[in-house]
Amino acid sequence: MVEQARTDRQELGEEVELALAYARQHDRPLMRSVFELDRRLAGVVATSSETMIGQMRLAWWRDLLEKPVSARPSGEPLVKRLGDTWGGSASEFSPLVDGWETLLVADALDKETLRQFCEGRAEAWAAIARALELPGTDQRRAYNAGYRWALADLAAHLSDEGERSMALDLAKGLEPAAPLHRRLRPLAILSGLAKRSLAMGGVPLLEGRTAALLALRIGISGR
């Protein structure tokens, strides 16, 4: 089984593209490939008509990430980009796959499912901080910021009011936002937008004029 993208370049959300514009040129491909993988896994969950089929597709990605770069399929553009930017360290994203699988197999969305899903996506942000060789404190802050973003991103896509309320209730227990390292500026922007989104009841991250202004402020000052 080979996961094939419709286009060579994976489309990302507007807020992610905006945030990535503030990355250092050398860091941008590294970060972009992570968000592209996240988007691809989201597509697997959204388009799998049966849970078992979705699990097989996610397992393909999990197994691929564990393989040496030389053993990965060469005709898949995203696989190549992950190899170019992460090399053998792509195995760090197994928790990201696990997070999306948690959402796929859940009979109903509950707080434990939400927690596991957010943890998986947050680990990807921590992996970025590790790849940039930032200190442990920055890695932990990146994880917390990723958790906040994952929760806000999901809440913004939930049509069920009860499920959204559950996500917003979970947000009340999040650790306070802390400044992120300059090289993590794109993550700081997304975390700031996520904080605003959750405070406004789970609105889309770039909804309203003040969202763009907030992104600009964080992009310049980090706060």
| Residue 59 in domain | yes
* End position of a domain, from candidates 105, 131, 155: 105
Q: Report how many helices (DSSP H) and strands (DSSP E) the chain contains, helices first.
A: 10, 0
| Residue 8 in domain | no
pLDDT one-digit tens code per residue, 66-104: 999 999 988 889 999 999 999 999 999 999 999 999 999
Residue 7: what pLDDT?
A: 42
Is a pLDDT exceeding 70 seen at residue 5? no
Total count of domains within the chain: 2
| Residue 97 in domain | yes
Q: Are residues 69 and 124 in the same domain?
A: no
| Residue 13 in domain | no
Rg value, the chain, Cα? 17
| Residue 11 in domain | no
Q: Are residues 35 and 129 in the same domain?
A: no
* End position of a domain, from candidates 78, 105, 132: 105
Mean pLDDT of the chain: 93
| Residue 6 in domain | no
Residue 3 CB neighbours (<10 A): 17
- The average pLDDT across 7-28 equals 88
pTM of the predicted protein model:
0.93
Residue 74: what pLDDT?
A: 80
Q: Are residues 180 and 214 in the same domain?
A: yes
Is a pLDDT exceeding 90 seen at residue 11? no
Output b/e per residue, 36-67; b: 16+ Cβ within 10 A.
bbbbbbbbbbeebeeeeebbebbebbbebbee
pLDDT one-digit tens code per residue, 48-67: 999 999 999 999 999 999 99
Q: Are residues 33 and 90 in the same domain?
A: yes
Confidence of residue 9 (pLDDT cuts 50, 70, 90): low
Residue range of the domain that includes 143: 111-223
* End position of a domain, from candidates 53, 71, 105: 105
Q: Are residues 179 and 122 in the same domain?
A: yes
Residue 170: what pLDDT?
A: 93
At 178 the three-state DSSP class reads coil
Q: Are residues 83 and 138 in the same domain?
A: no
Residue 10: what pLDDT?
A: 63
Q: Are residues 121 and 82 in the same domain?
A: no
Q: Are residues 77 and 148 in the same domain?
A: no
Q: Are residues 58 and 159 in the same domain?
A: no
| Residue 37 in domain | yes
Q: Are residues 38 and 74 in the same domain?
A: yes
Of 165, 129, 164, residue with least CA distance to 144? 129
